[in-house]
Amino acid sequence: MAERTVVALDVGGTVMKGAILGPAVHVLVERSWPTGRHLGPDAVVETALAALEELAGHPDARATRAAGLVVPGTVDAATGTVVWSENLGWSDVPLRELASTRTGLPVAFGHDVRVAALAESRLGAARDRANVLFLAIGTGIGAALMVDGHLLEADGYAGEIGHIEVEDSEPCVCGGQGCLEAVASAAAIARRYGQRSGRPVDGAAEVLAQVNAGDPVAAEVWNEAVEYLAQALAIGASLVAPELVVIGGGLSLAGDALLLPLTRRLHELLTIQRRPQLVPADLGDRAACLGAGLLAWEIA
């Protein structure tokens, strides 16, 4: 008899990550696809649906019971609707219904960062912690807040730390000015370095490599991002007093080059507030996909 499975898809701003998962969230198959934002919002919807269909049709998914689908932006998990996702250009997309129709499976639906925090709380760095701020830094920046053991939903609006104003010059895709996401996301770090140096790079990892090589422009861009992240986390620490901050998303792969200066600066900014420990996500940039799998198992 084939092993019972679920399929999971994390729709990211740059890459979609998918998996076929056995019981206990055991990874059987992993896949990835370019999101293709430049092709337009309808094309991204089609790519996501095709990715789920491919996973559900895989030979290792013969006994699949359900799918988990998580996306960035403002989501209504109850209705399965993407209310708004600025990085993907989506507005009022009934994505759960579309995915269920396409795959023939029941589909669990949620917000990528909150679901990543759920995965870290059950499987990763935040196990046995009741007050946690999960910060995902990738194409965009989002947060999930666990307060007294409960994930804060606020009708899908909680956690928009990426749209706290931290400076006054950079325009943001949300329509604001000087948002954290516009100056400290992995995408912003790469863009700002390219603008200042005249040498375009493919991502923040290349900027960090230039920092390590002694490039003063790279160091300036990196240090500014750390400062802005610390300012935003100081606000979060003042409001919800996390004992732990878990750093996820692609930028978490920078390790101590990010965590050490960020911890130092955050603690300098805090006075009477609780000073949280900062750790990288145990699940890395797979957290949201594994969290989607957890959601799927709940309805399988």
In this predicted structure, the answer to whether residue 1 has a pLDDT above a threshold of 50 is: no
Q: Average per-residue pLDDT in the chain?
A: 95
Based on the fold, state whether residues 169 and 246 are members of the same structural domain.
yes
What confidence category does residue 86 fall into, taking pLDDT thresholds of 50, 70 and 90? Answer: confident
pTM recorded for the entire structure: 0.90
pLDDT for 285: 82
Question: Is 94 among the domain residues?
Answer: yes
82, 83, 251: which is closest to 183 by C-alpha?
251
Question: What is the pLDDT averaged over residues 177-190?
Answer: 97
Question: Is 103 among the domain residues?
Answer: yes
Based on the fold, state whether residues 257 and 163 are members of the same structural domain.
yes
Based on the fold, state whether residues 176 and 134 are members of the same structural domain.
yes
Q: What share of the chain is helix, strand, coil (3-state, %, to 5)?
A: 45, 25, 30
The total of structural domains in the chain comes to: 2
In this predicted structure, the answer to whether residue 13 has a pLDDT above a threshold of 90 is: no
pLDDT for 2: 59
More confident residue, 24 or 186: 186
Based on the fold, state whether residues 84 and 138 are members of the same structural domain.
no
Tell me the pLDDT tens digit for each residue of 189-203: 999 999 999 999 999
Q: Domain range spanning residue 31?
A: 5-115+286-299
Question: Is 87 among the domain residues?
Answer: yes
What is the total residue count of the chain?
300
Question: What is the pLDDT averaged over residues 43-60?
Answer: 96
Based on the fold, state whether residues 78 and 25 are members of the same structural domain.
yes
Q: Which residues, including other chains, have CB under 8 Å from residue 293's CB and lie 6 or more apart?
A: 6, 8, 19, 21, 25, 68
CA distance 121 to 134: 10
In this predicted structure, the answer to whether residue 126 has a pLDDT above a threshold of 90 is: yes
